[in-house]
């Protein structure tokens, strides 16, 4: 069993924002595998299913990004899983749109959702997939940028980026973090 967690913010005002890239990846994964992410538990929406024959639980915490840790910890405990059985999907300003970075552990890189999870689990030794959203081109506050919606040019790249993320998650489930990183980190093809 793997717990696949997409980070984002709940509510209509956050739909299709850059900061909700984790939610978008989980939605794409759920669509591909016919998993309904509708069960309300652990301050989250959850859905259980299989990816390539492996049991998975998809999670979208509804606690707001900066407070994701308690929801993730609660789901891990209920499923009797360890942090190594987790994959957290988050947005990343330091990666261009379309670029992915899979790591088995590491710091938060300033991402408050990852920081919350690290604090609640008392470890940073959990796998994560960072989904590049790029930095703003104009002088705009980072907070405003991540909470803004994708523009037309970005929207045209988003579908392919989500598909790459789904393939990367499939690789994590099938082959493990290191092999998935070898296959999917770097420039989009």
Could you say which of 19, 42, 111, 184 is catalytic? 19
Q: Output the CA angle 76-27-67, nearest 5 degrees.
A: 45
CA atoms of 95 and 175, how far apart (whole Å): 24
Active site residue 19: yes
Tokens of 105: 């552990």
Closest of 16, 50, 25 to residue 160, by C-alpha: 25
CA atoms of 1 and 9, how far apart (whole Å): 25
User: CA-based diameter of the chain, in Å?
Assistant: 47
Instruction: Report residue 73 CA to chain centroid gap.
Output: 15
20 DSSP assignment: G
Helices assigned H by DSSP within 48-125: 68-78, 112-121
Q: Which residues are catalytic?
A: 19
């Amino acid at each position: 069993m793997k717990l696949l967690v997409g980070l984002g913010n709940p509510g209509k005002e956050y739909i299709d924002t850059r900061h909700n890239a984790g939610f978008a990846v989980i939605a794409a994964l759920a669509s591909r595998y016919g998993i309904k992410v509708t069960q309300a538990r652990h301050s989250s929406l959850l859905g259980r299913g299989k990816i390539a024959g492996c049991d998975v639980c998809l999670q979208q915490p509804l606690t707001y990004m900066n407070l994701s840790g308690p929801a993730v910890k609660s789901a891990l405990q209920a499923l009797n899983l360890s942090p190594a059985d987790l994959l957290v999907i988050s947005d990343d300003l330091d990666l261009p749109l379309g670029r992915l970075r899979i790591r088995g552990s590491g710091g938060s890189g300033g991402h408050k959702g990852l920081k919350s999870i690290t604090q609640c689990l008392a470890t940073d030794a959990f796998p994560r997939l960072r989904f590049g959203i790029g930095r703003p081109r104009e002088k705009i506050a980072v907070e405003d940028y991540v909470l803004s919606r994708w523009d037309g040019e970005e929207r045209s790249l988003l579908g392919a980026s989500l598909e790459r993320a789904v393939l990367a998650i499939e690789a994590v489930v099938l082959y493990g973090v290191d092999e998935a990183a070898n296959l999917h980190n770097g420039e989009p093809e």
